[in-house]
Structure 1
Amino acid sequence: MNVSNPALPDSIPQPILASADSLVTKTAFLAGLIAPETAACLSRQLKVSDAEYSRIIDGHDTDLEMLEDATNLASTQSTLGEITVLRRRLIAALAHHYHLVQTQPLSEGNGAVARLIVHMHFAQIGLHPQLWSLSRGIARRQEEYHAALGITGGTQERQLAGGFQRTDKASLTFIEFMLDVCHEEVDYMTAALNRRKLCEAVTNAFNTNSRLIEAGIRAEIAPAFLVLLIQGALPRSEFKTFTGLQPDNAKDQLNRLIDVGVVVSSPSDLLTISVALPNWFVRDILPDLHKSW
């Protein structure tokens, strides 16, 4: 797959530039909401959901070997050139996605490859794409996505007779659509990780989740877990204090949390615990993350 970058459109409308600027600000704010340990857990779950959404978008599974090859190729050959202005680099990444899907046959799984490469571009730019899902947003609006690419009925139709020729108008239409999708997904994750909403979600999970209930985990320690979720890691002693329970009961509840997998304790640091987000628990606190259409 050729991963060289196309030129930017000759003239970029001000609303698109403003949207790109706003996205940079929003993603920085989102990253500030999450501790590194929690972010790492969330990133692993987003990879799982991205695979699900990729099947929805493309209508088939993508060869993992192909994705690995694309990752290696993109990391060595795909750059954003001499573009230094952040918002223009973002727009160039989306223009590159459009170019790749337009010039490569989708039957070979290049839709997923193109999304992987734009994800890598976003990481280079500093948009923290591991904390929100572009694939989720595209899957929610897949008909619009395919229309913006000139794809109908599962096949790709060239916009101009005689093969693909990039037009600034078509490229800008696609870029504007993709920026809108990005904003929606960043807004979704930002709202989901809002302290009030997160508190409601965690409290509800500790009151209703069958695994937690069957494990004998008390609903009243939800606030202590919420602190751990926000902080990412805590000394064991602090977590026990946050539970408000007597020492023996606090120790018992912590052990139960570790047993069900929502808290982890490293053998190399037995004095500290970290948050864990197994798939079944994420589906409780972020119920729309894996939603299909």
Structure 2
Amino acid sequence: MNASNPALPDSIPPSILTSADLLVTKTAFLAGMVAPETAACLSNLLMNSDARFSRIIDGYHTEPEALKDAFNSANKQSTLEKVPELRRRIVAVLAHHFHLLQTQAFPDAKGAVARLIIHQHLAQLGLHPHLWSLTRGLARRHEEYQALAPTHRSQVREPTDRVQTSGKSPLSFMKLMLEVCLGEVDYMTAALNRQQLREAVIHVLKTNTRLTEAGIRAGTAPAFFALLIQGTLPRSEFEAFTGLQPQAASDQLNRLINVGIAVNSSSNLQTVQVGLPLWFAKDIFPDFSLAKSEFKPG
């Protein structure tokens, strides 16, 4: 193992380094697709979903206090800053995740803490993990993740005080983790494709009963799509996008605000921002939540 970072293998296969490079490129492209206000909405949705996905991975719920205490303890051990090259830093993050699962005895929070730390490190590396969900991806492949992840319980203490692990390969684990990361970035990139998103918005505004019962017209779809893409718009510009007479356009915007898919700006009363409540996000982003068949504890 690498002397400057005990969790990092001495030899990293070119395929893993290539995947790490690809993750840098793909996350940068994804971030360029999303306005800051829309990104904030997506981040909030994904963060709120993480607890649900964690239960699938771990098979139990992690209490916030246990998560906080264990996180503060484990996060002191990272040696990420000692790795100079970005793609190797990504590999070091994944290796550190493996190392935490292997060595840390946090019975109430170990898996969740390790995932929280990897999220923090991916953010430090500029990989925009708030726009895609590693936890969601691991929940989809939780059986593979559990098969490759080391477990603290499998370690035994020998008379020499040398710890014997279960022999699981960190390279196989890192390969899976990179596949999951790339898969989730690809999922969000496809979901935010302009043409697909436009069609989804038009369909939802025509068919969603909550919207139709609120008196929202399907014809407001182009205006809402513009708001979704730009994140924020002057009220007058949004109303002009609807193509309606001023009073009718203002009424439609107020109805969108009432159901939560548009929000009054707190800093400028003349502008509106996009809103993405979960019930609406599930409609415009296919498979945003895992299918029922995938919600099986590991």
- What TM-score, normalized to structure 1? 0.91
Which segment drifts farther, 78-87 or 59-68?
A: 78-87
Residues paired across the two proteins, number: 286
Paired with 2:74 and 2:36, the residues of 1 have a C-alpha distance of: 26
Aligned equivalent of 1:171:
170
Paired with 2:237 and 2:140, the residues of 1 have a C-alpha distance of: 41
| TM-aligned CA distance change 1:71 to 1:230, over 3 Å | farther
Aligned equivalent of 2:202:
203
Paired with 1:71 and 1:14, the residues of 2 have a C-alpha distance of: 32
Aligned equivalent of 2:28:
28
Matches within 5 A, 1:63-74: 63-73=63-73
Task: Tell me the SS of whatever aligns to 1:40.
Answer: helix
Paired with 1:13 and 1:130, the residues of 2 have a C-alpha distance of: 28
Aligned equivalent of 1:194:
193
Is contact 1:262-1:277 (8 Å) kept? Answer: yes
Aligned equivalent of 2:53:
53
| TM-aligned CA distance change 1:263 to 1:5, over 3 Å | farther
1:214 aligns with 2:213: yes
Shift of 1:165: 4.5
Q: Which amino acid aligns with 1:128?
A: H
Instruction: Give the superposed CA RMSD.
Output: 2.2
Unaligned runs of 5+ in 1: none
Unaligned runs of 5+ in 2: none
Paired with 2:231 and 2:283, the residues of 1 have a C-alpha distance of: 18
| CA offsets 1:192-217 (integer angstroms, 9 cap, x no match) | 00001111111111011111111000
Aligned equivalent of 1:157:
154
Is contact 1:70-1:117 (8 Å) kept? Answer: no
| CA offsets 1:49-85 (integer angstroms, 9 cap, x no match) | 1111000000111010122234445666534132121
Paired with 2:18 and 2:266, the residues of 1 have a C-alpha distance of: 48
1:286 aligns with 2:285: yes
Shift of 1:164: 3.9
Q: Which amino acid aligns with 1:28?
A: A
Is contact 2:101-2:150 (8 Å) kept? Answer: no
Shift of 1:271: 0.7
Q: Which amino acid aligns with 1:91?
A: V
Is contact 1:6-1:95 (8 Å) kept? Answer: no
| CA offsets 1:120-139 (integer angstroms, 9 cap, x no match) | 01000011000000011111
| TM-aligned CA distance change 1:276 to 1:92, over 3 Å | same
- What TM-score, normalized to structure 2? 0.90
Paired with 1:159 and 1:217, the residues of 2 have a C-alpha distance of: 63
Matches within 5 A, 1:62-141: 62-73=62-73, 78-105=78-105, 107-141=107-141
Paired with 2:9 and 2:28, the residues of 1 have a C-alpha distance of: 26
Task: Tell me the SS of whatever aligns to 1:121.
Answer: helix
Paired with 1:177 and 1:49, the residues of 2 have a C-alpha distance of: 22
| CA offsets 1:13-54 (integer angstroms, 9 cap, x no match) | 111001000000000000000000000000000012111100
Paired with 2:205 and 2:274, the residues of 1 have a C-alpha distance of: 15
Which segment drifts farther, 141-150 or 25-34?
A: 141-150
Shift of 1:286: 1.6
Aligned equivalent of 2:261:
262
Which segment drifts farther, 208-217 or 261-270?
A: 261-270
Q: Which amino acid aligns with 2:101?
A: V
| TM-aligned CA distance change 1:267 to 1:99, over 3 Å | closer
| TM-aligned CA distance change 1:214 to 1:9, over 3 Å | same
Task: Tell me the SS of whatever aligns to 1:213.
Answer: helix
Paired with 2:153 and 2:218, the residues of 1 have a C-alpha distance of: 52
Shift of 1:159: 9.5
Aligned equivalent of 1:10:
10
Task: Tell me the SS of whatever aligns to 2:216.
Answer: coil
Paired with 2:144 and 2:166, the residues of 1 have a C-alpha distance of: 19
Which segment drifts farther, 155-164 or 105-114?
A: 155-164
Shift of 1:150: 4.5
| TM-aligned CA distance change 1:16 to 1:159, over 3 Å | farther
